[in-house]
Amino acid sequence: MPPLLSRTDLHPFSGLDVPSLLAHRAKTRPDHPFIIWEPFEGPAETWTYARFYNQVGRIAGGLARRGVHPGDKVLIHLDNCPETLLTWYACGWLGAVAVTTNARAADDELSYYAEHCGAVAAITQPKFAERVARHCRHLRWVVVTATDNGAAPAQAVEPGQRFATLDADPPPRRAPDPLHPCSVQYTSGTTSRPKAVLWSHANALWGARINAVHEDLQASDVHLVHLPLFHTNAQAYSVLATLWAGGTAVVLPRFSASRFWPISIKHRCSWASMIPFCLKALMTLEVPAAHHYRLWGAAACDLPTDPHFRVQTMGWWGMTETITHGIVSDLRWPSPSLTIGRPAPEYGIAIVDDDELPVAQARAIEPGGSGQLLVRGIRALSLFQEYLGNAAATEASFTADGWFRTGDRVDLQPDGSIRFGDRTKDMLKVGGENVAASEIERVIAAVAGVHECAVVARKHRMLDEVPVVFVLPTPGAPADLAERVTAACVAQLADFKRPHEVRLVTELPRSTLEKVAKAELRKLLELETPAA
């Protein structure tokens, strides 16, 4: 495991922290819009850099008055809203640690998050207030926002619970310490409890600077933020990068296909992060004759939809643990369509046949091959600081010679670019043969009538595992869709790769960024008798 960044090491953020960056922007661009909140109901509201900085300071004062001290964990359980950002930066001002959690978390997950991180307080919305209070029992207090994105509150908000009570004279900013803990994000979790990814202030600043560089963000850019702020994509790829560039972020409660273009035109948005769910929804709508987007970022570059939207899409790959993109396409050098780009110059990238071995001993994958993706960086700077409260998981996530195990498989293209393959857990072992779920999904997704599909493994008495596909049909899909899917697989896949069952479903479980929650599908199959 690589050593942590030392306080004696010189690095790009020596003597700085997140409040330092915010203060600099408030001084140099005080009247420039930083955050524009576009709710689905009611008028928009704008925070200039100066206004945002001043309000963050007053909320930090309110947190301090309520007994929050440096190092304390504050649970931020919110849908996208201004208070999400204001509280996150206020924690940084005070030296507290912002713990952002998935607003769709179940009650048991909520309880786990609060207890695991040792949160002393929580910021939430009226619709979540009763659940947070009931399931996060060790909190000293809960504050409830005024912003509820149109939902009816589960209970009345007492005067002392209102977010407006977090208003007091700003406390003095702490002496900048880039290695002080800044924030925690919980991974989605698959076979075990989610891990708490701890970032230092240097990590957050790294995300701000490197994301802005990779994305070619300018002070004139307006970044539309519609993905959830509890996640690295919106928090670092979008908001922190916008802060570094001195631009503007237009924040929505969530993605809305019907509102996407009107809001984008209204604010002359020029940048956005995209996921397949959003692109599919927008494909059903007319593209305005004129818009201002110059770039979109996504999990692959040069998408087939680019000509339709008249926007260039850059590809990238990253994780919460890597803060920013470890692999990214270059706007000035072409990459093959649907690749994620090339290794970012700020990281070491290795693709090996066995990530259990030290990289020095593992066989490197040749162009045209597929293997395990490893990343080399500096902990607490370009890689996360640690998994909070889980030293064993932190150590196990690195090889003996200090490379981070991503758990992803990628394909090395003949030209040196990289294409995403699968999460390692999405590789099936069928009768001794390795099968990538994504390979099967690509065939099935092309069948007319298939809106979305997900392939997972089911235990088999003879073959160890066999593929099962869950298919979400399009409206008006043919009645014999399952048979058409089977026929396509017979025509295009080797026999051991063909699904043993095609299940048509009315919905698919979702995790972060609207990805299909395959862990839930696996749990469903685990409850069934193994196939003969």
| DSSP state letters, 138-161 | T-SEEEE-S--TTPPPSSPPPGGG
Q: Is 215 left (phi over 0), alpha (psi -120 to 50) or beta?
A: alpha
The CATH code for residues 431-526 is 3.30.300.30
Our CA angle for 488, 489, 493, nearest 5°, is 125
Report, at the CATH architecture level, how domain 52-175 is classified.
3-Layer(aba) Sandwich (3.40)
| Confidence at residue 151, expressed as pLDDT on a 0 to 100 scale | 55
Our CA angle for 424, 275, 306, nearest 5°, is 115
Ranges in the chain annotated CATH 3.40.50.980: 52-175
| Confidence at residue 120, expressed as pLDDT on a 0 to 100 scale | 98
pTM of the model: 0.87
| Confidence at residue 188, expressed as pLDDT on a 0 to 100 scale | 67
Q: Read off the DSSP letter of residue 286.
A: P
Give the type of residue at 380: A
| Confidence at residue 425, expressed as pLDDT on a 0 to 100 scale | 78
> Over the Cα atoms of the chain, what is R_g?
23
Q: State the Cα–Cα distance between residues 271 and 292, nearest whole angstrom.
A: 9
3-state secondary structure (DSSP) of residue 523 = helix
Q: Read off the DSSP letter of residue 260.
A: H
| Confidence at residue 530, expressed as pLDDT on a 0 to 100 scale | 61
List the structure tokens of 493.
């896949």
In this prediction, the residues of the chain whose per-residue pLDDT falls under 50 are: 154, 190-191
Strand order in the sheet with 295-298: 45-48, 33-37, 248-251, 222-225, 271-273, 295-298, 312-318, 325-328, 342-343
Contacts of 125 (CB under 8 A, 6+ apart): 77, 78, 79, 81, 144, 145, 147, 148, 149, 151
Q: State the Cα–Cα distance between residues 54 and 57, nearest whole angstrom.
A: 5
Ranges in the chain annotated CATH 3.30.300.30: 431-526
Residue of 409, 408, 470 lying closest to 444 (CA atoms): 470
Helices and strands, number each (H, E), in the chain: 15, 25
Q: State the Cα–Cα distance between residues 253 and 259, nearest whole angstrom.
A: 11
Q: Read off the DSSP letter of residue 431.
A: T
| Confidence at residue 462, expressed as pLDDT on a 0 to 100 scale | 79
